[in-house]
Structure 1
Amino acid sequence: MALPPNFLDELRTRTPLASLIGRRARLAKSGRNWKACCPFHNEKSPSFYVYDDHYHCFGCGAHGDAVSFVMQSEGAGFMEAVERLASEAGLDIPKPTPEAAARDRTARDLHAVMAAAEASFSRRLYLPEGRPALDYLIRRGLTPETIRDFGLGWASGTRGAIAGDLSPEGITPAQLLEAGLLREGEGGESPRDFFFNRVIFPIRDRRGRTIAFGGRTLGDGQPKYVNSPETPLFSKRRALYNLDRAKEAAFRGARVLAVEGYMDVIALHQAGFTGAVAPLGTALTEEQLQEIWRLHPEPVLCFDGDAAGGRAAARVATLALAQLAPERTLRLATLPGGEDPDTLIAKSGQRGFQAVLDAAQPLSEALYTLVAGGTPPATPEARAALRHRLEEAARTIPDKSLGAEYRRVLLDRFFAARPRPGVKPPPPRIARRAPDPVAAREDAARCALAILLANPWLIPQVEEALAGLDLPGGPATRLQNAFQAWLSGPHALDSASLIAHLAQTGENDALAWATRPEGLPQAAQPNTQPGDAENGWWHFFLRLRGEAALIDDQRAAERDWIETNDPGAALRLQRLTEALAAQRRGEANEAEGDSPFA
Structure 2
Amino acid sequence: MRFDNRLLDEIRARLSLSDIVGRRVTWDRRKTQPGKGDYWACCPFHQEKSPSFHVDDRRNRYKCFGCGASGDHFRFLTDTEGLSFPEAVERLANQAGVALPAPDPQAARREKKRAGLAEVCEMAARFFQMEFSAPRGEQARSYALRRGFAPATLAEFRFGYAPDSRDALKRYLATQDVPEEVMVEAGLLIKPDNGRPSYDRFRGRLMIPIQDERGRVVAFGGRTLDPDGQPKYLNSPETPLFHKGVMLFNAHRAREPAFQAGRAVVVEGYLDAIALAQAGITHVVATLGTAFTEEQVLRLWKFAAEPVVCFDGDSAGISAAHRAIDRIFPVLKSGYSFQFCFLPDGMDPDDLIQKQGVAGFETQVAQAQSLFDVVWDREVSVAQLDTPERKAALEKRFDDLIETIRDPRVKRRYQLDLKFRLSNLFFEQARQGRSGGTKGGGGRFDKPAATGRAPSPDTPLYGTERLVCGLGVKYPQFLDRHLERVSALEFSEPLHQRFNDAICALVSDLEHTPVSGLVAGLDEPLRQLMSEVVGLGQVSDDAPASRHGAFSALAQRFPLLKTHPPEDFVEAAYLHFLDVLELKKLERELEREMEAAETELDEASWQRMQAVTQDLSRRREECAREEAELAERAKKIRAAPVGAAPAPASPQSPEMRTG
TM-score computed with the length of structure 2 as normaliser: 0.56
1:133–1:104 Cα change, 3 Å: same
Unpaired runs of 5+ in structure 2? 9-16, 22-36, 47-51, 79-85, 445-539, 546-555, 567-639, 655-659
Counterpart position of 2:187: 180
1:32 alignment partner, one of 45, 65, 69? 45
1:425–1:415 Cα change, 3 Å: farther
Contact 2:370/2:653 (<8 A) preserved: no
Contact 1:321/1:397 (<8 A) preserved: yes
The structural deviation recorded for 1:415 is 1.0
2:162 alignment partner, one of 155, 160, 165? 155
Counterpart position of 1:427: 439
Helix, strand or coil for the counterpart of 2:222? strand
1:119-138 alignment runs, 5 A limit: 119-138=126-145
Contact 2:544/2:562 (<8 A) preserved: no
1:132–1:40 Cα change, 3 Å: farther
Counterpart position of 2:461: none
Contact 1:255/1:273 (<8 A) preserved: no
Helix, strand or coil for the counterpart of 1:284? coil
1:116 paired to 2:123: yes
The structural deviation recorded for 1:244 is 1.2
Deviation larger for 266-275 or 577-586 = 577-586
Counterpart position of 1:329: 337
Q: How far, CA to CA, are the matches of 1:109 and 1:306 in structure 2?
A: 43
The structural deviation recorded for 1:121 is 0.5
1:222–1:52 Cα change, 3 Å: farther
| Paired amino acid for 1:283 | A
Helix, strand or coil for the counterpart of 1:226? strand
1:253 paired to 2:261: yes
Counterpart position of 2:402: 394
| Paired amino acid for 1:345 | I
Helix, strand or coil for the counterpart of 2:107? helix
Q: How far, CA to CA, are the matches of 1:519 and 1:587 in structure 2?
A: 21
Unpaired runs of 5+ in structure 1? 9-16, 57-63, 81-93, 432-516, 538-576, 593-598
Helix, strand or coil for the counterpart of 1:202? strand
Q: How far, CA to CA, are the matches of 1:28 and 1:376 in structure 2?
A: 54
Helix, strand or coil for the counterpart of 2:336? coil
Q: Deviations over 1:342-366 (max 9, x none)?
A: 2222222212211121011221232
Contact 2:543/2:562 (<8 A) preserved: no
1:149–1:518 Cα change, 3 Å: farther
| Paired amino acid for 1:234 | F
2:217 alignment partner, one of 204, 210, 221? 210
Counterpart position of 2:312: 304
Helix, strand or coil for the counterpart of 2:166? coil
Q: How far, CA to CA, are the matches of 1:395 and 1:115 in structure 2?
A: 45
Q: How far, CA to CA, are the matches of 1:164 and 1:119 in structure 2?
A: 14
Deviation larger for 349-358 or 306-315 = 306-315
1:43-442 alignment runs, 5 A limit: 54-55=76-77, 67=89, 96-97=104-105, 99-185=106-192, 187-219=194-226, 220-253=228-261, 255-374=263-382, 377-418=385-426, 419-421=429-431, 422-427=434-439
Contact 2:128/2:160 (<8 A) preserved: yes
Helix, strand or coil for the counterpart of 1:333? strand
Once superposed, what is the RMSD of the aligned Cα atoms? 4.5
Q: Deviations over 1:143-183 (max 9, x none)?
A: 11111111110001233321333344333323222211122
Contact 2:380/2:443 (<8 A) preserved: no
Helix, strand or coil for the counterpart of 2:246? coil
Give the count of matched residue pairs. 425
| Paired amino acid for 1:405 | R
Q: How far, CA to CA, are the matches of 1:230 and 1:251 in structure 2?
A: 29
Contact 1:378/1:425 (<8 A) preserved: no
Q: How far, CA to CA, are the matches of 2:401 and 2:212 in structure 1?
A: 33
| Paired amino acid for 1:411 | K
Helix, strand or coil for the counterpart of 2:288? coil
The structural deviation recorded for 1:247 is 1.3
The structural deviation recorded for 1:285 is 2.1
Q: How far, CA to CA, are the matches of 2:104 and 2:262 in structure 1?
A: 40
Helix, strand or coil for the counterpart of 1:236? coil
Q: How far, CA to CA, are the matches of 1:163 and 1:2 in structure 2?
A: 38
Contact 1:150/1:202 (<8 A) preserved: yes
Q: Deviations over 1:30-81 (max 9, x none)?
A: 2635843462899xxx9x998996459xxxxxxx9753799799x995659x
Q: How far, CA to CA, are the matches of 1:69 and 1:114 in structure 2?
A: 24
The structural deviation recorded for 1:201 is 0.9
Helix, strand or coil for the counterpart of 1:212? strand
Contact 1:152/1:202 (<8 A) preserved: yes
1:518–1:275 Cα change, 3 Å: farther
Counterpart position of 2:498: none
Q: How far, CA to CA, are the matches of 1:280 and 1:531 in structure 2?
A: 46
Counterpart position of 2:463: none
| Paired amino acid for 1:427 | K
2:648 alignment partner, one of 556, 565, 585? 585
Contact 1:206/1:244 (<8 A) preserved: yes
| Paired amino acid for 2:152 | E
